């Protein structure tokens, strides 16, 4: 690793410290036995996603798709037949989608139209269909009300009322429930000729799938453990988990059971080893944030009033939604612990040290 930083303490990067896997979008790179990594660009601040191809031509399983953009579709069409060998190959045997977010679910419907078998979590795939089918104005009004009840300024609320269903913009129409084979935590599945244990991560998404290959200690971690950034952990509209930070930290504790030398294949950033060190860093990060939020709530604070504590940068429209959800996640965690009390002020939820 050529770059040194405290945030990488305890980590090693077998393929270099880079922006995702590979040197170019759509070009597959071998990262482990019968596993190729494929990077695709994204049209927002987190500018790439890693997808994975398990197995050899004729028996390949894709993990995630990237967002539904013309460029991503073209790259899959141009490069997938050559992802694991120099010769042509039929379409993949299956696609496994780790969770409902557009950079993972985006092209599931498009692959399904080509006859590809679909694997996923029942909770995540159901939620994708729910979101996609919300009418534009209903979607906008719902978010505007959520913003208003948490203290965001009127200009931001008015702007979000003008938005359409932003989920639809990057996701092909999700397949019906009958199109999916659902995986469950703890089961073992054979994908691309190798056995993988199904793990579930929560907090970033309600029921995100991960895969662990015990034979050589490889973890396909989705967004649960990333090498250089912390996954967004948010209270979000329509998601039932009111304490996602607790869910997230509990999921990290379960990953501690995996070997320290596990090769982690993250959805963003470079593959790395040093799982336990990264788990320690993620826990420490949230401990610090919780302490900062608690100190800030000596006086009543809305989630919006904590943006300056938790986010020391200018936020775009998408990041504003994530920031609100993450502020609420820390507030709800402290409220559930009895450290904060919730009060209502003119229709806005605020929190104060108990």
List pLDDT tens digits, range 214-262: 999 999 999 999 999 999 999 998 899 999 999 999 999 999 999 999 9
Average pLDDT of the chain, as a whole number: 93
pLDDT digits 0-9 by tens, 70-103: 999 999 988 765 444 433 445 789 999 999 999 9
CA distance 122 to 262: 27
Identify the three-state secondary structure at position 266: strand
Give residue 80's pLDDT: 66
d(CA 67, CA 35): 21
Q: Is 280 helix (H, G, I), strand (E, B) or coil?
A: helix
pTM: predicted TM-score of the whole model, two decimal places: 0.94
Please name the helix (run of DSSP H) or strand (run of DSSP E) that holds residue 7, with its range, or none: none
CATH of domain 6-295: 3.60.15.10
For 167, other C-beta atoms within 10 Å of its C-beta total: 19
- Relative to beta strand 263-266, strand 272-273 is antiparallel
- Does pLDDT of 33 surpass 90? yes
Residue 180 CB partners (closer than 8 Å, separation 6+): 118, 119, 120, 122, 125
Question: Which residue's structure tokens are 């639809």?
Answer: 168
Of 65, 58, 66, nearest to 34 by C-alpha is 58
Distance CA 110, CA 92 (A): 13
Place of tokens 């965001």: 152
């Amino acid at each position: 690793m050529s770059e040194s930083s405290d945030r990488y303490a305890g980590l090693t990067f077998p393929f270099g410290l880079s922006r995702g896997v590979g040197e170019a979008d759509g070009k597959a790179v071998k990262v482990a036995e019968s596993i190729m990594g494929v990077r695709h660009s994204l049209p927002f601040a987190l500018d790439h996603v890693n997808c994975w191809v398990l197995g050899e031509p004729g028996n390949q399983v894709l993990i995630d798709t990237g967002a539904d953009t013309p460029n991503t579709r073209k790259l899959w069409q141009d490069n997938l037949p050559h992802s694991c060998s120099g010769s042509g190959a039929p379409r993949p045997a299956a696609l496994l989608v780790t969770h409902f977010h557009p950079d993972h679910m985006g092209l599931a419907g498009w692959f399904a139209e080509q006859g590809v078998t679909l694997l996923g979590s029942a909770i995540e795939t159901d939620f994708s269909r729910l979101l996609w089918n919300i009418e534009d104005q209903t979607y906008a009004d719902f978010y505007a009300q959520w913003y208003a009840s948490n203290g965001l300024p009127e200009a931001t609320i008015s702007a979000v009322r003008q938005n359409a269903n932003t989920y639809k913009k990057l996701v092909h129409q999700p397949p019906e429930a009958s199109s999916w084979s659902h995986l469950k935590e703890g089961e073992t599945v054979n994908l691309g000729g190798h056995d993988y244990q199904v793990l579930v991560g929560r907090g970033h998404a309600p029921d995100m799938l991960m895969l662990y290959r015990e034979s050589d200690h490889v973890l396909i971690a989705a967004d649960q453990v990333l090498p250089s950034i912390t996954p967004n952990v948010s209270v979000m509209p329509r998601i039932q988990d009111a304490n996602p930070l607790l869910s997230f930290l509990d999921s990290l504790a379960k990953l501690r059971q995996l070997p320290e030398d596990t090769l982690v294949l993250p959805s963003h950033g470079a593959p790395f080893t040093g799982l336990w060190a990264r788990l320690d860093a993620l826990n420490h990060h949230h401990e610090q944030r919780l302490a900062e939020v608690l100190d800030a709530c000596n006086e009543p604070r809305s989630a919006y009033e904590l943006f300056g504590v938790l986010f020391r940068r200018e936020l775009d429209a998408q990041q504003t939604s994530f920031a609100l959800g993450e502020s609420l996640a820390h507030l709800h965690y402290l409220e559930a612990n009895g450290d904060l009390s919730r009060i209502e002020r003119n229709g806005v939820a605020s929190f104060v040290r108990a």
